[in-house]
Amino acid sequence: MDERRKHYRPWDAQHSCQQAVSPRAALPEGDLVFFLLDTIPELDLSAFHQYYAQELRGQPPFDVTMMTTLLVYAYSVGVRSSRKIAAACERNLAFRALVGEAPPDFRTISDFRKIHQAAFRPLFLEVLRLAGEMGLVKLGNLSTDGTKMGANASRHKAMSYGYMNKDITRLEGEIDRLLQQAEQSDAEQDAALGSRRGDELPAELKRREDRLLKIREAKARLEAAACVQAAEEQRRRDAEQAQREAEGRKRRGKEPAAIDPTPDDKAQTNFTDPEAKIMKQPNKGFDYAFNAQAVVDGANQIIVAAEVTNQANDKQQAVPMARAALDNVNAAGIERPKTAAGTPVPIPNTADTGYFSAEAIDALEKMGLDPHVATGRQKHHEAPVPSVAGAAAPAATAKEKMQHKLRTVTGKLLYAARKHIVEPVFGQIKAARGIRKFLLRGLQKVSAEWQLICLTHNILKIWRRVCAAAPK
């Protein structure tokens, strides 16, 4: 028998597990963790420090810069759970490089994220300012889009308006029966209770009363939302009627039905996160989610504005997102391109058909933008529209003018660029980093988390640019 065999490199398990390992010596020189250790302390973190300036009691907290760097690194590599971050601080060499020999526990990490929600927006601007100083933001094409991010809310913790009315009636009947039973047994209980009062609330009754209270609160939320929608519909009808009267036209067809401020029986709200809404998902299903919006610069996929709304439709988001982008650009000290005469050049702003409305186009142009917003969807395998030249007819509507603009050579190039500007950003966040839903609850907290997610996206872009420019 042939006794030859493959020889392996020597391995001593006991020696390996006792050997001290230095993160600096073990990790690559250009690792993200070392880049953050050099970069985050140079940013303005005064928004994080303000909380501790007002609270001087108790033991010294963990270093603010260390905790901020830890949170930024964790989100950059797709680790967001406070328990998973705490576990990584004990087992992961890169996390150990951040926290040293005294890692924070999961509760400390969770509290830090909750306490400093308002500080993530200034940090987003600081990272955007850094990207601007490095020349990564050119303002040649600001592309706007939104993506549905799952909410931290279960579909099983929701109820429709119609079922609420039925459940309220059922619970009120059960509570009445329980109260009658309690009154009937008072005489028997008095003899057994002795010195106790005997009017303690039964656990079963308390459970039903608590549920009844939550249902009534949820019902009130749906009714308030329905009243707001009814008022908006009334304003829309009044505006249309005023326009008809000004033009001397009469309404065609029969009069519309009266506006009913009562919620539809199928209208739902969630008990876990009341501000989350049912939205259509990419898999054609429906689930509770938020609409995460982003405005991305075309040069290096830097996010210049990041907001969250619980409205599934994007039509009302074009103007607020453009305004947020311009405000952030100004706050970050990024100069807008100018002509030879020194006047600002209109910044192209591209968006899909979900953002189009004549009012939005007019508002974007007044803000100094050059909107290129689709007016409809192009069918698959449809023949490309031939290019046109010149300006649209003066009498053309806003929709016709936009269609003409998108058929020009410049318009086609600008709008086609959306496919490699804003759409890949959501893929990098969702697929590459695995961030598909929010951990926090409530629109305000979710908005802060989206700011953190987007600023770490920008951090990764800056880090890769630094690594690419570093000498080999």
Per-residue pLDDT of the chain (472 residues; tens, 9 = 90+): 567 888 888 888 787 777 777 888 888 888 999 999 999 999 999 999 988 887 777 788 899 999 999 999 999 999 999 999 999 999 999 999 999 888 999 999 999 999 999 999 999 999 999 999 999 999 999 999 999 999 988 877 776 667 667 766 776 676 677 677 666 666 565 555 555 554 555 666 667 777 677 777 777 777 777 787 778 778 888 887 788 778 778 877 777 888 777 777 777 777 778 888 888 887 768 888 999 999 999 999 999 999 999 998 898 999 999 999 999 999 999 998 888 888 889 999 999 999 999 999 999 999 999 999 998 887 766 667 777 777 777 878 888 888 889 899 999 999 999 999 999 999 999 999 999 999 999 999 999 999 999 999 999 999 999 887 666 6
Q: Are residues 239 and 376 located together in one domain of the fold? A: no
Residue 191 is predicted with a pLDDT of: 56
In a domain, 252, yes or no: no
Residues 287 and 147 in one domain: yes
325 and 410 belong to one structural domain = yes
Which tokens go with 193? 């209770």
Same domain, 358 and 224: no
Domain that holds residue 24: 19-115
Task: Specify whether 130 is located in the same domain as 107.
Answer: no
Quick check: is 6 in a domain? no
Q: Are residues 403 and 306 in the same domain?
A: yes
Q: Alpha-carbon distance 309 to 149, whole Å?
A: 11
CA–CA dist 54, 131 (Å, integer): 32
Say how many domains are in the chain.
3
Q: Which tokens sit at 22? A: 């230095």
Residue 148 and residue 295 in one domain: yes
Instruction: Give 103-110 contacts, CB < 8 A, sequence gap 24+.
Output: 104/62, 104/67, 104/70, 106/82, 107/82, 108/62, 108/67, 109/67, 109/70, 109/71, 109/82, 109/85, 110/82
Q: Do 305 and 386 sit in the same domain of this protein?
A: yes
**Same-domain pairing of 263 and 324:** no
Same domain, 171 and 79: no
Same domain, 443 and 389: yes
- Whether 193 is covered by a domain: the verdict is no
Q: Is residue 4 part of a domain?
A: no
- 351 and 320, same structural domain? yes
| Domain boundary residue, one of 115, 144, 174 | 115
Of the candidates 196, 198, 201, the residue with the CA atom closest to the CA atom of residue 178: 201
Q: How far apart are CA 231 and CA 225, in angstroms?
A: 10
Q: How far is CA 322 from CA 280, 308, 329, in A?
A: 25, 14, 11
* Residue where a domain stops, chosen among 53, 88, 115: 115
